[in-house]
Amino acid sequence: MHASKKIVVTGGAGYIGAHTVVELMNAGYEVVVIDNLVNSDMTLITGIEKITGKKINFHKGDCRDKTFLTNLFRTESIAGVMHFAALKAVGESVQKPLEYHENNISSLITVLQVMREQKVKDFIFSSSCTVYGQPDNIPVDEHAPFKKAESPYGLTKQICEQILEDVYKTGFRIISLRYFNPIGAHPSALIGEMPIGTPNNLVPYITQTAAGWRDKLIVFGNDYNTPDGSCVRDFIHVVDLAEAHVKALAWLQATKTTALYEVFNVGTGNGVSVLQLVNAFIRKTGAKLPFRIGPRRPGDVEKVYANPEKINRMMNWKPRYTPEDALVHAWAWQQKLSR
């Protein structure tokens, strides 16, 4: 089975999935993309086709639809799955906890059931640093305990990881990648982050404000216990994150172990404050960015950044880009969207 290079990417029409599809194809994998387009459209698929010069094997469908998945897995010879499909807006998850639990957990379970039935064992899961909450020690490493989740979204990631920890023992080979804060766009500006509606994430908010789509950026709080009072995060370029997936898959395919579960932080190891990022954007792009300081946003942790030593050491992965590169790339993508 592992000789096949065909990988299913769920949620591959979305932001991180699309960038990973490009890196997988660059590395010689064949990719089958599944997405129900609940939070995307075909724009990024078209962008991937332009970047790679290849037609994408795309299937519109839902990860909770077992018949759909089974038919797909029967017709394609699948070596592994990267599971990005999920609802991901922290704030919305507070309003719609049932939808978040149902989508994120049922999707995972259904994909795993079909994998088991079709004897596909290699699985990479999109986890998040939200599983740590506000950790006691920073930089945070993979041994830090889960804190009480700040949102239903965060809880779905904790529950999914716990399910994976149970399930791998029955013969799966699983990696959870705990992403810190993915930002940026492909350097070609052909794919990037394209939130539907008001962005929840900082960088699309920054670029949409600078492009005049929004009046003003609000920085949530400047009275945190951080050097400039704004929250501190570990911003990682989405292409570096995509490359981490390819390394993780290659590592998984190279190991002979029949059942394993490994968790990796994927971050740069550097804490950068929200205000530092805002100022870097203005400095690097020369764009006008009206912003004001607003109140703290419920659910935001004060500061979190990764200890990435495990992924550095075990997968020889290191980021190639800086947060400034990511801002320049995100701005180029935004300008393309604005045209």
Ligand X SMILES: NC(=O)c1ccc[n+]([C@@H]2O[C@H](COP(=O)([O-])OP(=O)(O)OC[C@H]3O[C@@H](n4cnc5c(N)ncnc54)[C@H](O)[C@@H]3O)[C@@H](O)[C@H]2O)c1
Residues that bind ligand X (CB under 6 A): 10-11, 13-17, 34-40, 62-64, 84-88, 103, 107, 126, 128, 179, 181-182, 201
Q: Which is nearer to ligand X, 86 or 278 (CB)?
A: 86
Residue 193 C-beta: closest distance to ligand X, Å: 7
Q: Which of 153, 168, 179, 261 is catalytic?
A: 153
> Which of 45/278 has CB closer to ligand X?
45
CA–CA distance, 15 with 255 (Å, rounded to integer): 29
Q: How far is the CB of 257 from ligand X (least distance, A)?
A: 25
Residue number with the shortest CB distance to ligand X?
Answer: 14
Cβ at position 4, least distance to ligand X in Å: 22
Tell me how far, at minimum, the Cβ of 12 lies from ligand X, in Å.
Answer: 7
DSSP letters of 241-305? HHHHHHHHHHHHHH---SSEEEEEEES-S--EEHHHHHHHHHHHH-----EEEEPPPTT--SB--
The answer to whether residue 153 is catalytic is yes
How many whole angstroms separate alpha carbon 127 and alpha carbon 88? 11
Q: Are 266 and 179 in contact (CB under 8 A)?
A: yes
Q: Is 140 helix (H, G, I), strand (E, B) or coil?
A: strand
Q: Is it true that the peptide bond before 308 is cis, omega within 30 degrees of 0?
A: no
Nearer to ligand X by Cβ, of 10 and 208: the residue is 10
Cβ distance 311 to 264 under 8 Å?
Answer: yes
Cα separation, 70 vs 191, in Å, equals 30
Query: Which residue, 15 or 168, is less far from ligand X as judged by CB?
Result: 15
Catalytic residue IDs: 153
